[in-house]
Amino acid sequence: MVFKSYEVMLDTVGPELQVVNKSEKAISLEADGCVVLTPDQEKEASPQLLPVNFSGLPKAVKPGDTIFIGQYLFTGSETTSLWLEVAELKGEDVVCRVKNSATLAGSLFTLHVSQIRIDLPTLTENDKHVICTWGVCNKIDFLSLSYTRHAEDVRQARQFMSELSDLSQTQIFAKIENIEGLTHFDEILQEADGIILSRGNLGMDLPPEKVFLFQKAAVYKCNMAGKPAVVTRVVDSMTDNLRPTRAEATDVANAILDGSDAILLGAETLRGLYPVETISTVGRICYEAEKVFNQDLYFKKTVKYVGEPMTHLESIASSAVRAAIKVKASVIICFTSTGRAARLIAKYRPTMPVLSVVIPRLKTNQLKWSLIGAFEAQQSLIVRGVFPLLADPHHPAESTSATSESILKVAMDYGKTCGLIKSHDRVVVCQKVGDASVVKIIELED
């Protein structure tokens, strides 16, 4: 039952606008000054002129529009990011007023224009090249599709991935970071395997007082669809400090209480001074929040949302969780070949861990045979409350009672080793026996 117990996610650049600073010298701009944005990338960046990688900017903006520029786009310190207001359009150039004093450092700075559509493909040629090289080399489990605007973006990315044999099982997480993605959220959720709420960019497209509403609504929809929701930009202050602010600590806890599956760190671990401490701190906050999560209310709300009649799998998943709660089981063990059954159980947010035992299966394309299972096990790591195990692949086709009991024993032993299962505990097991799905309760002896 050994496999790599970590996941690899590739984050695309997408239609991201950038300011190019070839000399890499720091550029300082003063409030109330003027700066020109030009598509001529041959020119040197200066406090008066900033070359951008998009020639269509004058057609996309109008006087009065807001533009943000910086490596990390207002991470809490406005001295490293620039806030501009479009003053006038001059041919291919855009003249802007500088709203705050700031120093831009590095070779590339992200440029974000609030609430406009950039006429560039969501999956760029450069993204495709990186996927075909680095992505294939590292057998990525997830593709984070930046600036997802429509469900068609996800479909096109999936079609591209399906043509790469090594990445045909890679899951696609749609990154929602602008008004267009927000407008088409429901159709994107239906098509994607999961959602990443990019609150950094969204916080610039939406008024600040609206961001929390979108977060709560989006996470709720992900929860009811049984798809992972990932929240970003939580402890920006830890980029330069050992402790988060009180507001940030509360924000992390609220993300968990809202139903998020995972927290995605950015500047804090990319360039931060305290990456290990950041991960530890966020982990402790998540742990405390999970202890007070109202599982009973969540369970009833999910059952009501799903409604009747339930599908076969949905009924079995909810029954397994209900049984585990009633008998105060220490764990739920789920036998699965695709990971879907375990994800459905986790959808009801049981108070106990879900041990997802993935049974490998043989697959053929008529030219060669391959063993499927490791990807599914790894991808389950991002689902809240699921702890995947990969069954012994030596006899993946066998489904005899003896084989099932043998695999169950290994899963139970693993639970005991981890301290999840003790003597006299009750364990709920969910598995398929022939054509029937079975939920059974096991009471352990000494």
Say which residues have a Cβ less than 8 Å from residue 239's Cβ, sequence separation at least 6.
Answer: 75, 76, 267, 268, 271, 272, 273
**Tens digit of pLDDT for each residue in 52-82?**
988 889 988 999 998 988 865 554 456 778 8
Burial label for 304, CB within 10 Å (0-12, 13-18, 19+), is: exposed
pLDDT at 396: 47
Separation CA 275–CA 280 (nearest Å): 9
How confident is the chain (446 residues) per 10-residue block, as mean pLDDT? 70 89 89 94 92 90 89 59 92 94 83 80 94 94 96 97 88 94 96 94 82 93 96 90 95 96 90 94 96 93 92 93 95 91 94 90 67 81 92 57 78 89 92 83 85
The fold of 120-291 is TIM Barrel (3.20.20)
Closest CA to 153 of 173, 130, 168: 173
Which residue ranges make up each domain of the chain?
17-113, 120-291, 295-443
Task: Look at strands 27-29 and 171-176 and give their pairing.
Answer: unpaired
Strand pairing report for 66-70 and 49-51: unpaired
Tokens 């929040």 correspond to 289
C-alpha distances out from residue 238 to 79, 124, 253, 361, Å: 17, 32, 16, 44
Fold of the CATH domain 295-443: Pyruvate Kinase; Chain: A, domain 1 (3.40.1380)
Reading the block at residue 178, the tokens are: 């602008």
User: Beta-carbon neighbour count of residue 268 at 10 Å?
Assistant: 26
Residue-level pLDDT at 397: 44
Strands (E), 350-446: 354-358, 361-364, 369-372, 386-390, 426-433, 436-443
Helix (H) or strand (E) holding 81: strand 81-90
φ and ψ at residue 39, rounded to 5 degrees? -80, -5
| Residue 367: per-residue pLDDT | 66
Q: How do residues 336-352 score in pLDDT, each as one tens digit?
A: 888 899 999 999 999 99
- The alpha carbon of residue 203 and the mean position of all alpha carbons in its chain are separated, in whole angstroms, by 17
> Cα angle vertex 80, ends 75, 81, to 5°?
70
Q: Are 188 and 156 in contact (CB under 8 A)?
A: no
Locate 33 and state its tokens: 């000054």
Distance, in Å, from the CA atom of 240 to the CA atom of 247, rounded to the nearest integer, reads 16
Domain 17-113: assigned CATH number: 2.40.33.10
Task: Give yes or no for a contact between 27 and 104, defined as CB atoms under 8 angstroms apart.
Answer: yes
DSSP helix/strand/coil, 420: coil
pTM of the model: 0.87
Which residues have CB under 8 Å from 370's CB, separation 6+? 362, 363, 364
